Amino acid sequence: MNSQVCGGMYAKHDWGGSLKPHIGLRLNQFGKDHYDSNNKDAQGSEDVLVSYVIFEYKDIDNLGADVGGGRKKYICDSYAIDTLKICDKKQEGNFIINADVTNSTIMTSHLNKLGPVNLDYSVNKTGYYCVSTFNKNEAIKYKGVVNFQNAFGQLSASEIPKLPAYAAS
């Protein structure tokens, strides 16, 4: 199922911490294939292709293309290519982003194997970040994990203001 998950993240310079805040992804299942951490060479027999976009929520207006009537098209598909002409064939299946925008937090690509994704999405600004995924073949189900890694580990951003109180007790 195509999905989106969001979470608050804080920058290391705002609250400190020993870890580098970042967002990571891992694709655990695609169709009948499952990721096996003991056999990292097994990448799956099916044609794995899941598009993703990671962004700070403030940049949501830079996702998708306006198609009129207050509606937006977010995925490059045959309708977006042939009729709307807002993307081209090599972008098919990917998220559409506003190419004119600079200095945004948007990262988009695709997963083509099972397991952890080799990406570096550093969180340098405190904010609310989202990860959305899409698979153009609706018959194939997939599962994955999004890791919102804050500077204090898995402590959610909403819990950070409580740290001074814990230190005082």
pLDDT digits (tens, 9 = 90+) for 60-78: 989 999 888 889 999 999 9
Residues 79 and 17 in one domain: no
CB 49 within 8 A of CB 135: yes
Q: What does the radius of gyration of the chain's CA atoms come to, in whole angstroms? A: 18
Which residues, in sequence order, are CB contacts of 35 under 8 Å at separation 6+?
26, 27, 28, 29, 42, 44, 114, 115
CB 106 within 8 A of CB 86: no
Given the structure tokens 């950070």, which residue do they identify?
160
**Domain end (from 97, 122, 152):** 97
Residues 42 and 69 in one domain: no
Q: How many structural domains comprise the chain?
A: 2
Residues 80 and 22 in one domain: no
Bigger pLDDT: 96 or 41? 96
Of 100, 78, 101, the closest CA to residue 91 belongs to 78
Domain around 125: 3-61+105-168
Residues 111 and 158 in one domain: yes
Residues 55 and 123 in one domain: yes
**Alpha carbon 131 to its chain's center:** 3
Residues 47 and 80 in one domain: no
Instruction: Classify 64 as helix, strand or coil.
Output: coil
Residues 132 and 147 in one domain: yes
**Domain end (from 80, 97, 114):** 97
Given the structure tokens 């090599």, which residue do they identify?
90
The pLDDT confidence band at residue 163, using thresholds 50, 70 and 90, is: low
pLDDT at residue 25, rounded to an integer: 94
Residues 71 and 56 in one domain: no
